[in-house]
Structure 1
Amino acid sequence: MKTMLITGAASGLGWALARAAWARGWRLILVDRDGEALADKAARLAGVDTRRVRHFALDLTDDTARNELVAALRDEPLDALINNAGITHRSSVARTELAVFRRVMAVDWDAPVALTLALLPALRARRGTVINIGSMAGWMPVLGRAGYCSAKAALAQFFEVLRGELADEGVGVLMVYPSFLATPIERNALGFDGRPAAHARSSVGRVRDADWMAERVLDALAAGRRRLFPDRFTLFASLLWRLAPDLYHRLMRRRFAGELDH
């Protein structure tokens, strides 16, 4: 039985991925900072088969807690690691406190990089795959999301380099680039001062649900894909940014004008 570790597993896309992977027969290691919600979700699955699920509540940006997790998993096989846990903000660059940018970078770049490097021996042993939940914001600018765009762009570049360096060691990398999803990450977005953002998010294209996205991620993993652009809008927008960046900027400013006041 193959084993998958999912971060941010207590809600949103992480929980959808856990349910979908469970249905496909995976053994799961679930990680989230919300211990109460995580225990509840793990219990739902463990009620069916306790041998197939373990869970760990911790903040992955805490070096000590993350090292304790890695030590606890020292003897665990690992066929897939899904770096899903994330945070975003909705605030203009000039108004945003530097601590907000640092927090987004810590969760969205530092934590997945550190966890992946620590678990590389387990992934090498099983010729496993690292799946990173990136964003279209890692490929193109989005007003009001400078910190998030920066973190996801850094994530993409880091793991594309890692992919090349591990090409002969059997460790795969799947980069996932969703557009807008109906998940708690946006409902819990930070504002300019680190408190919850007070204004509604701007979006373009169709807002997809987490279950739809989870199935496509697991299908891409099963197929051995390296990158996943799950809908046509995401692919079109990435091409528009590269081929006609000035037009992209004009359209973005029109659609996301409301972000300029926050």
Structure 2
Amino acid sequence: MSGNADTVTLITGAASGLGWALAQVAFQRGHRLILVDRDAEALADKSARLAATDPQRVTYHTLDLTDGPARDRLVDRIAARGRLDVLINNAGITHRSLAARTDPKVFHQVMAVDWEAPVALTLGCLPLLRDSGGCVINIGSMAGWMPVLGRAGYCSAKAALAQFFEVLRGEVADQGIDVLMVYPSFLATPIERNALGHDGGPAAHARSSVGRVRSAEWMAERVWDAFERGDKRLFPDRFTFLASLLWRLAPDLYHRLMRRRFATELDS
């Protein structure tokens, strides 16, 4: 489906980073927004900024998406309003820590936020999306396509997200529901600034990256353009996409280059 002034869009993780950029672009393109985030203060502030222009087009809900009952209440509230056209599963967390040193609770937390929550929210919203002929947009990562040192849990969660929604795509294709998988690489957003360390506290070392670090605004424009074209997948960064091909065609070479580029992770 393509967007118009009647499009009702739910965005998770909407109070900062890519989620906030997606909200601003969607608002500019006429969408009615339902914004969700666990940061109550930031969410209220960002929602008020948009509502100052048109209060009828913005509602918001403070929510921890890993809270199942709270998530169910959100779906009930949306159903009571009667419509949902686009669900954007954007909220996420990451970690920077070697797998062998990482407390399993960190992996559990990353999987809960990055895989379990978007899957459960989507399943709850499927009847609404079926009624509207809507679309699910998932913010995945190129880390789900290729290994990245120090991100074992994050890579696993994003790979699981991609596989689940590719299967779901085929299962709901005859029901009029579209799925857009978005695979960014490195973005200048709070997800990396707030990365977990091996013990669940803040990561102690700076992140490593390859290619150009893009802005959230750059990414948001491309996501909405892909949605309006009806794309199924978006690989916005050519350099990282080529790196993912290298991983598939020459995995040993990829590993050698990755260990060199991400040496900071091995020393952490």
Q: 1:146 aligns with which of 147, 152, 161?
A: 152
Q: 2:7 aligns with which of 2, 19, 29?
A: 2
1:129 equivalent to 2:135? Answer: yes
Q: Distance in 1 between matches of 2:199 and 2:66?
A: 20
SS across alignment from 2:196: coil
Q: 1:221 aligns with which of 221, 227, 243?
A: 227
Q: 1:62 aligns with which of 67, 78, 82?
A: 67
1:162 equivalent to 2:180? Answer: no
Unaligned 5+ runs, structure 2 = 1-5
State whether residues 92 and 261 of structure 1, in contact with CA within 8 Å, keep that contact through their aligned partners in structure 2. no
User: Aligned partner of 1:107: which letter?
Assistant: V
Residue matched to 2:17? 12
1:206 equivalent to 2:209? Answer: no
User: Aligned partner of 1:185: which letter?
Assistant: I
- Percent sequence identity over matched residues? 76
State whether residues 78 and 84 of structure 2, in contact with CA within 8 Å, keep that contact through their aligned partners in structure 1. no
TM-score by length of 2: 0.97
Q: CA deviation at 1:261?
A: 2.8
Give aligned pairs, total.
262
SS across alignment from 1:131: strand
Residue matched to 2:237? 231
Q: Which string of whole-angstrom CA distances, capped at 9 and with x for unpartnered residues, describes residues 85-114 of structure 1? A: 000000000100000000000000000000
Q: Distance in 1 between matches of 2:237 and 2:195?
A: 23
Residue matched to 1:259? 265
Q: Distance in 1 between matches of 2:41 and 2:69?
A: 21
1:69-148 aligned at under 5 Å gives the runs 69-75=74-80, 76-148=82-154
Q: CA deviation at 1:139?
A: 0.2
Q: Distance in 1 between matches of 2:48 and 2:37?
A: 14
Q: Which string of whole-angstrom CA distances, capped at 9 and with x for unpartnered residues, describes residues 135-168 of structure 1? A: 0000000000000000000000000000000111
Q: CA deviation at 1:5?
A: 0.3
SS across alignment from 2:150: coil
User: Aligned partner of 1:40: which letter?
Assistant: D
Q: CA-atom RMSD, angstroms?
A: 0.6
Q: CA deviation at 1:52?
A: 0.2
